Chain A
Amino acid sequence: MMLDRLQRLGRAGIGFFERLGRAHMFLLSTLAGVPGVLLRPSLVIKQLYMVGVLTLLIILVSGFFVGMVLGLQGYNTLSDFGAEDSLGVMVALSLVRELGPVVTALLFAGRAGSALTAEIGLMKATEQLSGMEMMAVDPMKRVIAPRFLAGFISMPMLAAIFSLVGVYGGYFVGVGLLGVDDGAFWSQMQDRVDLHDDILNGVIKSFVFGFVAVWIAVFEGYDSVPTSEGVSRATTRTVVHTSLVVLGLDFILTALMFGD
């Protein structure tokens, strides 16, 4: 009885590490396929459209609304201390350091990551991937690597657009509706937001999140059980795992970057 439970725990543990190992081997062969893809940019451009351009709308709308909420909430809190002139700093720092990369990564997992997983999973289920192998076309190079590269490129762009639109959302609410001084909003922001410490670290974060999000998405698709149930499970796992990993990594990166 006791031993049975122990065995089940052991099996789960071994399964976990097996999967982790497969994910890393998969990552290695994906990265090995990336240089070959650069010679055929048309594959990447098509994926950039699917992964990046089609995600743009949700990023623009959410960015604007997140910025507006920050402006509204920040104003309510800051005006208690007579510090509403610092609204620009608050909005910009929250967006550039945290919300930009994190919320973009979460939206990216929901909009683009799930689509990637489902597409690759269905390719596997309908044996298109094995078909390619039969024709001596390496699916890692033809299918996986372009999607990986497109996701990796898109994420930082989307995060930057999110942050910028968010700052203007905060500006719209703070300056346009609530009457914060226009000059103070921008000048305090420019005074306190540092190019290296804040913006660059935010961009590094978005690169890391993009890498992890797209890695999970393509791996879950490639590793899915080739049935309709398996694909649906893989798609769910993509969104759940990406969200957890991104939030966890965000804490670690924040502690490393802004800790002192």
Chain B
Amino acid sequence: MRNTRFIEIAVGLFIAAGMAALFLLAMQVSNLSRAGSGESYTITATFENIGGLKVRSPVTVSGVRVGRVDAIDYDNEAFEAVVTLRIDKAYSSFPEDTSASIYTSGLLGEQYIGLEPGGSEANLVEGDRIQMTQSALVMEQVVGQFLYNAAGKSDE
């Protein structure tokens, strides 16, 4: 058996390494470092079709990530999807007539919401609803439309 001092130093190093590994996993690997200030506000938007949008999908403006999708519900009366967006407090000056669209990153990538700010003076605040929205592009519909048009042309 080696002496006590060596063992204690080795155990100290081991525990320090374990703690450091946990800390690094939290900081380097997970989303903790990008959590922002933590303060946020929510706005809602209704879409006819949200395609493959999921809770925690990103919300971007000009390609910059400003928040994420907090919840997705279905409105039984309007027959529409209601998406709740959680936006960081740091980005709190979107005009009231901001529009929201659902895009796909890359050909097969995940779907996200892109906001396009309008020109209104008043800003969106907590609980507001975005009026202008554009649904997700569903691949089958696009292909179907294309085939339909192509068939129509060849008939002429």
Contact = CB atoms under 8 A, between A and B. Distances in A.
Interface stretch (A107-115, A127-135, A186-194, A233-241): A186-194
Nearest to A187: B34
B55 to A, nearest CB: 11
Contact of B29 (A45, A56, A82, A199): A199
B79 interface: no
B31 A193 contact: yes
Interface string B42-71: 000000000000001010000000000000
Of the candidates B32, B58, B106, the one having the most CB atoms from chain A within 10 angstroms of its own CB is B32
Interface string A154-169: 1011101101110100
A198 interface: yes
Given A49-B11, A203-B22, A92 B17 contact: no
Contacts of A156: 18, 22
A81 interface: yes
Closest 5 CB pairs of A and B: A157-B18, A160-B21, A195-B30, A164-B21, A161-B21
B10 interface: yes
A216 B19 CA distance: 26
Interface of A: 42, 45-46, 48-49, 52-53, 56, 81-83, 92, 96, 153-154, 156-158, 160-161, 163-165, 167, 186, 189-195, 198-199, 203
A157 B17 contact: yes
A45 to B, nearest CB: 5
Tell me the interface secondary structure of chain B in the complex.
helix
Contacts of A158: 18
B7 A96 contact: no
Nearest to B2: A49
Contacts of B34: 190-191
Contacts of B33: 190
A164 B108 CA distance: 29
Contacts of A160: 18, 21-22, 25
Interface of B: 4, 7-8, 10-11, 13-15, 17-19, 21-22, 24-26, 28-35, 56, 58, 106-108
Contacts of A161: 17-18, 21
Given A53-B11, A53-B14, A157-B21, A96 B108 contact: no
Contacts of A52: 11, 14
A96 B14 contact: no
13 contacts: A42-B4, A53-B11, A53-B14, A81-B108, A92-B29, A154-B14, A156-B22, A157-B18, A157-B19, A157-B21, A160-B18, A167-B25, A190-B30
B14 A167 contact: no
B7 to A, nearest CB: 5
Contacts of B26: 195, 199
Contacts of B107: 82
B104 to A, nearest CB: 13
B17 A49 contact: no
A194 B28 CA distance: 11
A203 B33 CA distance: 19
